[in-house]
Amino acid sequence: MRTVHIYSGSLALVSKSGVGQAAKHQHAALESVGVRVVTTWDRRAGVVHINTVLPVSLWAARHAHRLGQKVIWYGHSTEKDFRNSFTGSNLLAPIFKQWLRLCYNQADLIITPTPYSAKELAGYRLRPPIVPLSNGVDTQFFAPNPASRSILREKYHLAADKPVVISVGHYMQRKGILDFIALARKMPQVQFLWFGYTDPHLVPHNVKAAMADAPENLRFPGFLTQAELRTAYCGADAFLFCSHEETEGIVILEALACATPTLVRDIPAYRGWLRDGENVHAYRTTQDLPLRLQALLQHRLPDTAVAARRTAEERALPKIGERLQQLYERL
């Protein structure tokens, strides 16, 4: 496949999300293996990638088929990871699942990040084949940098003698923001930063209230550029991801690429590729979390840096590009 169209008609709306980042990864992965990528309609493109599930994406899939082009739809979304996200998401979740079925059934192939999300989508009884393939990570950009430690502390005026724990994501209950806030209150000796941004109109009232009442040792600096985010990963003492449901979690891959000590909730999406005590550390219950994090910050848990970096390199963008080329041959 020499030319691939990554449909951009709705990507501006998700540019600050994992879906937007995944589309950028596809672009870079394909170019790294010599594939020409276009973002406008081009009859030379044999395949069209679709990443969103907005109405315009449904039109794009049908238009691609009219042009004789194959459609790869990325299964970033499931009903489970839609729940506990935005205002009204739980009420809309059953309808959203039916909409996902309608969208995904327009594809010639569905790519989803992990075997777990592939299993979830298989339960939707979709017609197209479903293939798990990581979103990948730019391991040349995201890499360890010891100098970031002082840069991060100076930028946010953090105490040099207190550990710094970060998380990244939308202001969603599903992402574990309420757990993160409660943890910060229990550990006043630790400095916590949550990076990311969500339109306030989409943030549920209980999340807004919890953020407004957050303890002094927790800050919400907002959305970061990729360069700023890399500094945050490399400068933190730990990356904590409390998410209750994921299809993969690009931010985890970025943290692993930076060899940042990483602590995650033990959820099904991570099983098989994230291993407790090897490339990450995991906790099972909210009650376990403070003790587990404290042990990590006090260096009483195994060093995961080498294995973390190796896990990221296994998902480096050129490798994702090679795998995409193999999938195109199947189409």
pLDDT digits (tens, 9 = 90+) for 86-138: 988 999 999 999 999 999 999 999 999 999 999 999 999 999 999 999 999 99
Structural domain boundaries of the chain?
A: 3-136+316-330, 148-313
279: left (phi over 0), alpha (psi -120 to 50) or beta: alpha
Give CATH for domain 3-136+316-330. 3.40.50.2000
- In the chain, pLDDT over 70 holds for what percent of residues? 100
Q: How many helices (H) and strands (E) does the chain have?
A: 13, 12
The helix (run of H) or strand (run of E) holding residue 38 is strand 36-38
pLDDT digits (tens, 9 = 90+) for 249-263: 999 999 999 999 999
Q: Residues 106, 61: contact at Cβ < 8 Å?
A: yes
Of 106, 30, 61, 18, which Cα lies nearest the Cα of 38?
30
pLDDT digits (tens, 9 = 90+) for 270-304: 999 999 999 999 999 999 999 999 999 999 999 99
Distance CA 83, CA 172 (A): 10
pLDDT value of position 105: 98
Domains 3-136+316-330 and 148-313 share a fold: yes
Distance CA 229, CA 225 (A): 6
pTM of the model: 0.95
Residue 1 has pLDDT above 80, yes or no: no
Adjacent-strand bridge partners of 72: 49, 109
Please give the average per-residue pLDDT across 188-192, as a whole number.
98
Domain 148-313 has CATH 3.20.20.70: no
Residue 207 has pLDDT above 90, yes or no: yes
Please give the average per-residue pLDDT across 53-65, as a whole number.
96
pLDDT digits (tens, 9 = 90+) for 23-36: 999 999 999 999 99
Angle, CA 178 vertex, CA 173 and CA 180 arms, to 5°: 120
- In the chain, pLDDT over 90 holds for what percent of residues? 95
Mean pLDDT across the chain: 96
Q: How confident is the model at residue 11 (pLDDT cuts 50, 70, 90)?
A: confident
